[in-house]
A = this chain, B = another copy of it.
Amino acid sequence: MTISTEELFMDLDRSGPIPLYYQIARRMQEAIERGDLAPGSRIENELKLAEHLAISRPTIRRAIQELVDQGLLVRRRGVGTQVVRGRLTRSVELTSLYDDLSISNRSPTTKVLLHEEMRPSAEILESLTLPADATVLHIKRLRFSDGVPFALLENYLPPEFLTLTAEQFEKHGLYQLMRARGTTMRVARQTIGARVGTAEEAQLFDQKPGSPVLVMSRTLFDQSGHAVEFGEHSYRPDLYSFEVTLVEK
């Protein structure tokens, strides 16, 4: 029943900057994804795990909690902790589309269709919590995967990003540029829906007029709670979809 975990968790780096609970969580995650921890199998109980790894129970609990939050493990009081049975899917995280594609070796490219300063609408002002006389950067980009256009990205950025150039947006993802300027993203609120594509979208996506598009609008907040992006994106639905993992608390 209980699988051997001894070898898997040796060589924890206790001096480096990476937290112990994080090191353990990553190793368990890899073990599950490799199949070393079979779906449905129970993992050792928390006290024994703590003893074997020579760490405290709160630390191993925190590591386990990470994987529970990812939907890889399920805990039951009085019983134990089990690996969820079922295929693995990577869930939506706070990474950009560009990062996602780069990771899966899809060679994303970007064409900037519009790059202007503007006085935004009241709705966008409110989303970004800016004063009424503020100027924002308005950009519109077409994103390609292996040369095929599949996403139209329209974004509004607060004044501190006015200096970003069209050339930079051709070469880098928005989040890369934000990170490079010291902005740390923390929270994003997204709404996902669908509608009939506009004439522009149909033409750009090489689809018939009246074809559906998947749409997502997002407000992104940085580490101090300020809104740093408002975006309205549309996707060719046969080439893109969202994955979400939900965990009951």
Which residues of A pack against B, CB within 8 Å?
A: 39-40, 71, 74, 76, 79, 82-87, 89, 91-94, 126-127, 129, 184-196, 210-214, 219, 221, 223-227, 237-238, 240-248
Contact = CB atoms under 8 A, between A and B. Distances in A.
Contact of A187 (B127, B196, B245): B245
Given A86-B127, A188-B246, 12 more contacts: A71-B189, A71-B221, A74-B186, A85-B227, A89-B191, A94-B246, A184-B248, A189-B243, A190-B246, A192-B244, A194-B214, A195-B238
A188 B245 contact: yes
A24 to B, nearest CB: 15
A229 B212 CA distance: 28
Given A39-B225, A224-B74, A246 B193 contact: no
A237 B193 contact: yes
A212 B236 CA distance: 12
A58 to B, nearest CB: 8
A91 B238 CA distance: 26
B192 A241 contact: yes
Contact of A74 (B74, B187, B188): B187
A93 B71 CA distance: 13
B189 A192 contact: no
Nearest to A240: B193
A87 B85 CA distance: 38
B74 A248 contact: no
Nearest to A236: B194
Contacts of A129: 39, 85-86
A126 B242 CA distance: 21
B74 A223 contact: yes
9 contacts: A71-B187, A185-B248, A188-B245, A189-B243, A189-B246, A191-B244, A193-B241, A194-B213, A195-B237
A175 to B, nearest CB: 11
A83 B87 CA distance: 37
